[in-house]
Chains A and B, each alone.
Chain A
Amino acid sequence: MSATIALPDSAPPPPPDSPKMSLALRVLGSRKLLWTGLSLFVVLSIIRATQDGADDLTSSGTIETTLRFTMPILLAGLAGLWAERVGVVNIGIEGMMIFGTWFGGYAAWKWGPWVGLLAAIIGGMLGGLIHAVATVTFNVNHVISGVALNTLAFGSMRYLSELLWDRSDIQGAGISQSPQQKSALPRFDLPFVSGGRIGSWQSPDLMGWFEKRGWPILGDIGGIVKGLTTNVSAGTLIALSLVPISVWVLWRTRFGLRLRSSGESPQAAESLGVRVIPLRYAGLLISGGFAGLGGGYLAIVASSYYRQGQTANKGFIGLATTIAGNWRPTGVLASGFLFGYPEALNRVGRDAIRHLLLFGFIIALIWCITSLIRGKWARTAFGAVIGGLLLQQWLIIDENGISESLTGGLPYAITLVVLAVFSQRLRPPAHAGMPYRPGDSH
């Protein structure tokens, strides 16, 4: 049986990380993206400053919630990244997160939040191990194994809930819910920036002051920075720190190089003496650990109990951020925020969310103008139709106009749009998702 080696497509190679490039550029990857991001921010700021009830677009409350909603998606995205970098497509992230929520919720209730996080990681790794046995050892199709894993996780965790918590002697527990945890992870405010305490002294809240003034740009920066530095849980810090750690391990260590080579061309790696099978096991265990931690975050940091259905498709959205982030940790983080933001706005800024329609209209307008300049008529027409629809909706909608089920679908719609726009510029690991048996190519 001859293995097919896919040629990498002709997309330009990612820019080299030379030390000259500024940090922002290295995170975003290109100058164009940086300018686009900045101008979109200015547009958002003007909308926030001029429209009624739009304060929550960049308020510290919204950003704080965004951070909390983004972390599980980020961890799921990193889980997808680690798995696909080593050459295995991981549709089972959702299932691994379910393992994480259950084990995390159980251990945090019994032994406290830190043990809970550890248990969540171990639970996720268990899922990663199952996926590895099926896809690496037995070469089962990766998508099928992932689908089976999701169902296995849902069914078995529900079974455990029914077994352990479907009793009347544990308060607050039930067939689909764990009892409430007694303690939570510590939370921090940054001193001087957002009024954190040093000892018993309350430092000034600089960013909060800016936010209250509400000036364009400065007020928004105040809200965003305060939101990012207020009430930050230790779990959030752990999750965020995994982004640079992933970058470092994958691109700066021997293990990372081997791991990525196993995802690009296992035959070539094998011919250089890399043992691909153990590497893939390692990659999937790490992937499962990340996903499990994401589940644990949901059960321990974002709430204080396990609930059935808590993952709510976050594993799948995470997988979409892996793709939209071009299989790079910083890209995953950026697209994670893209999905976390509308979700947060939907939760805490319901009256502001309608102004996203105006924001969308302005983006469509810019899109129209640029396509018009380039002479692409079909794109212009498409943009005009979408923009017209958005503007018309924005004009007729009042404060509580948008139905919650419609805004709830926003992350999924954004995923589809982002994938449709960027899919052809992305470069996945060349061998992700394909079967591999050692020695086949000789």
Chain B
Amino acid sequence: MTDTSIDERPRHLRIANPKPARNRQDALVILASSLAAVLLSLIVAGLVLWVSGKDATALFEKMWENLTSSNKLYEMVDRATPMIIAGVAVAIGFKMNLFNIGVEGQYLMGVFFAAVIGTQFELPAVLHVALIMVVALVAGSLWAAVAAVLKVTRGVNEVIATIMLNALALNLIDFLFTEYFRFESASLDVKTKPLPTTAWFPELVSGRLSAYILVALAVALIYWLIVFKSRFGYRLRASGVNAGAARTGGIAAKKMILASMLLSGAIAGLTGLKYLLGESYAYGPTRPEGFGFNGIAVALLGRNHPAGIVISALLFGFLDSLSGPLQIAKIPSSIVLVIKAIILLGVVIVNEVVSVKVARRTADRTAAQLEVAGAAA
């Protein structure tokens, strides 16, 4: 934007809104600020440990140990897998200015119905897995549809609706599980009927890393294609940035809310399948939990960008992989949760501060250019 001379070309050839030369510099700013937030939260965690009389250096020692052990790195990727998917699900909502707090309930519905319906069929391996994934997609999507329909037809805030649906999902699943789908087996563990081996997901590294990470990466890729490269994605982002302008531009807001919520719920439905198809092969009380929050945090930390989501999910997976070693070092593993929450708060605060700074700088520059242009004219 150094050229401030007045554009003499005919109107239709002028570049209406010249793109500021910002991409690389802004990416660096974002990266630096996110790193700062992460470092800050680690320092706070260290301080907390030190104040409470624990060995703070052990935290960083364990981190280094985990980073240098290949088994722990596999665990990190494995733990990051569902977070990538949950993060993408949340990010789709964010792109549309919708808060899908309901990822938690949506993936539980996905896991449960996948576990129940998956045992009803006998199919060859690939088909069986595909069928289960479709069931999970549909179940998550339908559960999200409740909130979407309530929002579109009755104006119910989706935040409250999805929170209630999370609690309701747990109750509904408990009811269906205890009344209808409890499988009486010889052993004492209470689970649904186990899935046949045709539904098992292969492993990349035996006992360490499920191949489900490939599904997660594919989800991130598809998210990128749909949201950033398709017409639908353009409409979605337009409605998210400025709903009024998008409506004026002929984008049906209600349809977009429904579509994005259904898509978000569908992807959320896939979150829990790593647990179902790669670990337990049945639904039981040791169900996965907490990926709703992790998804929100990962989406925010990754700024709704697929690459950012994958990287932040890896970071959160890494933090989760610390809980075992920390326990051994006599450090309460709940410190990991504290670190995550502080990272989330820190990142959103830093994002706000940076975006205000950037906006102010842009405004100042524009003002300066206007002055120059005014003087020239």
Please list the residues of chain A having a beta carbon within 8 angstroms of any beta carbon in chain B. 1, 91, 130, 134, 138-141, 143-145, 147-152, 154-156, 158-159, 162-163, 166, 313, 316, 319-320, 323, 403, 405-406, 408-409, 412-413, 415-416, 419-421, 423-424
Contact = CB atoms under 8 A, between A and B. Distances in A.
Interface string B314-350: 0000000000000000001011111011101100110
Given A416-B150, A424-B155, A155 B164 contact: no
A406 B300 contact: no
Contacts of B156: 416, 419-420, 423
Given A163-B332, A423-B157, 15 more contacts: A134-B349, A140-B348, A140-B352, A143-B101, A147-B101, A147-B344, A148-B348, A159-B332, A159-B334, A159-B335, A159-B337, A316-B160, A320-B160, A320-B164, A323-B157
A156 B175 CA distance: 32
Most A CB within 10 A of own CB, among B154, B164, B356 = B164
Interface string B277-298: 0000000000000000100110
27 contacts: A91-B101, A91-B159, A138-B349, A138-B353, A139-B352, A140-B345, A140-B352, A144-B344, A148-B344, A152-B342, A156-B334, A158-B332, A159-B48, A159-B337, A316-B163, A320-B160, A323-B157, A403-B175, A405-B178, A406-B171, A412-B165, A412-B171, A416-B168, A419-B150, A419-B160, A423-B157, A424-B155
A155 B154 contact: no
Contacts of A319: 160
B362 to A, nearest CB: 10
A323 B160 contact: yes
Contacts of A138: 348-349, 352-353
What size tier do the contact residues of chain B reach?
A: 35 or more
Nearest to B338: A155
Nearest to B341: A152
A332 to B, nearest CB: 14
Given A138-B352, A403-B175, A419-B160, A148 B345 contact: yes
Contact of B332 (A162, A320, A415, A421): A162
Nearest to A4: B244
Nearest to A139: B352
A405 B344 contact: no
Contact of A143 (B159, B170, B175, B332): B159
A406 B180 CA distance: 13
A413 B338 contact: no
Most A CB within 10 A of own CB, among B101, B157, B178 = B157
Contacts of B359: 1
B344 to A, nearest CB: 4
Contacts of B345: 130, 134, 140, 145, 148-149, 152
B352 A163 contact: no
B161 interface: yes
Contacts of B157: 323, 419, 423
Contacts of A130: 345
For the complex of A and B, list the 7 residue pairs with the smallest distance between their C-beta atoms, beginning with the closest.
A155-B337, A409-B171, A152-B341, A162-B332, A405-B174, A158-B334, A151-B341
Contact of B155 (A147, A156, A320, A423): A423
Nearest to A142: B159
A279 B101 CA distance: 29
Nearest to B173: A405
Most A CB within 10 A of own CB, among B165, B174, B332, B359 = B332
B340 A151 contact: yes
A402 B84 CA distance: 39
Contact of B175 (A154, A162, A166, A405): A405
Nearest to A133: B349
A357 B39 CA distance: 55
Contacts of A408: 171, 174
Most A CB within 10 A of own CB, among B150, B165, B175, B334 = B334
Contacts of A155: 334-338, 340-341
Interface string B65-85: 000000000000000000000
